[in-house]
Structure 1
Amino acid sequence: MMKAFEKRSLLLGLYFCSAMVAGAPHAMAQTGSFGQPTPDRNQSTRALVEELNVLLEKGEKDRLIDPWFLRDIRQVIGRYDRPWSEVLLSDDFSARGPLPDAPWKVTAGEFLIDWRHGLRSVIEGTSAPQSAPSGTQDTDEKDVAKALLGALLQGALQGDQSSNQASDTQQRTAGQATFAAVQAALPISNAFAIDVTISLRPLANGVEDGFELGPYQGANASSGYRLSYVAQDRSLQLLKISSRGVATIDTARLAAGLTDEQTHQVTWTRDRDGAMTIRIDGQDAIAVTDRSFRDPFDGFAVLNRGGDFAVRDVTIAGVTD
């Protein structure tokens, strides 16, 4: 039987380390550009997290602490454990415009630099799909809609000029674009941290469909993860797009919609084990583990399905293996 003083020592160590981690938000309040902690703060927090993990491993191995308490402590640590130390992309869209600087490339519709709002796209409205794409066996209306959105995204994000021309022709109805897409081709590690500041403004006709964004694989951006926001029911959907089609990983409904002309912070993290957390304005929205994609990603894509949508800034960080 373990001695009582050993258990008390472990608990005291966890208590003081947890207290220090709990104070990390104040320590991390002094940040560099795009909300990234300064190097010294980042290294100190990382060292503290590693020390906590060592204590937790000992407690779990020797069965010194209740497993529910261990779980709660790990959840707290997870909020501050940021192994994504390598900044892969950081852009506040301050280019003189009208088009964004490389590596961004507009592949469908219009995404233009707006000095007030960032990278902006205005789609006045879209028509509802009448039927599912050929070959789909989905009967549920929402599944059909998601499959169509996935098909639109795959068609929108073609890399060569001929594909761009075909996509641009197909996406227009009565001379009006029905969606817009932009992508940044750059290597993104399988574990990543994505911070995006977005805004949505209501249109006069009241049509705001929503947006999609996420990392992709392949030169044609035909597979990867997509975070989809549906303005009509204020829902977030984490989608997986692959050669097999579009699948829903998890969903969440926001208490308040994003179409309020205010900026909103989307924070999306994925660790080496495939555990993903998506937060909206600091509040947890989706937490799920998915290991469908094990290789690095080839870029980041943004899609406006309908509405006045803007990306104020983007920061993508990764890990070094």
Structure 2
Amino acid sequence: MKAVRYHAFGGPEVLTVDEIAVPHAGPGQIRIVVHCAGVNPSDWKRREGQYASFEDAEFPFAIGVEASGIVDEIGDGVSGVAIGDAVFGFGEGTVAEQVILTHWAAKPASVSFEVASGLPVIVDTATRALEEVNIETGQTLLVSGAAGGIGTAIVQLARLRGITVIGAASSPKHDYLASLGAVPVNYGPSLKERICELSPTGVDAAIDVAGSDIIPELISIVGKPDQVLSVADLSAEKYGAKFSHGPPRQPEIAFADVASLCDRGLFILHIQDVYTFEQTADAHRVSAKGRVTGKLVIRIC
């Protein structure tokens, strides 16, 4: 079968489409025929070697951590799923024709394979971030980088919990953020002054999704370092803020919850672009520019 891999750290040009052996589901796992795989900043950061100091990489390395598709093999001890079921979830090397999933949920018929493939990372990350930043119903949350995939999920899940959300993004994305229920605000100088105008009583917590060296400013806006959290800036903790990271904790529960919300029209995921298997490098280039609204997806079949 075909899979996209890299044999050394580097730019998008190191990605190759390789022929590899078909994997088999072990205990507690399932295998799917992949329809689509989501693209995440962690994919190209890992490929560039940014995670090499704290994460082992054995070459060749297959890319992708999330996918949607049809179950075609079930490992020992797995129940509640059958051959032929449509699912989405976490795996390794998911930009491939067949992959093993370790955590998954059923894909509702109303949800496309493209959208389903882009849900796992953003849903797991957003759920964890909202829990760790200790934001409650009736409070106000500032999200920096609110129009990307994770930001999209944080905004919607926070609004469903009765939290007021101020979303920082560039002007062209303000209508999108407003459609999700956020109060949009521009990035850039004088952000604190603009936030004060929008929320005179202050902001209770802030989540950084973009990783754009904004942690000190977010702390100044919130006033409490421990109420500021980043999912993208590894330096957050040196300022007294929190850095949220895995491993996932029972993500299949969050997957199923959001799948139900999608089915009822209460959660949306904008897919900015869909790429072919052979265009994976192009998807990485676009993702690395940091201007994606929603998610990018690779269509496998």
The reply to whether TM is greater than 0.5 is no
Of structures 1 and 2, the larger Rg is shown by 1
Task: From the two aligned structures, give the one with the greater strand fraction.
Answer: 1
Task: From the two aligned structures, give the one with the greater helix fraction.
Answer: 2
Alignment TM class, shorter chain as reference? under 0.3
Question: Which has the bigger relative contact order, CA under 8 A and spacing at least 6?
Answer: 1
What is the TM-score when the length of structure 2 is the normalising length?
A: 0.26
What is the TM-score when the length of structure 1 is the normalising length?
A: 0.25
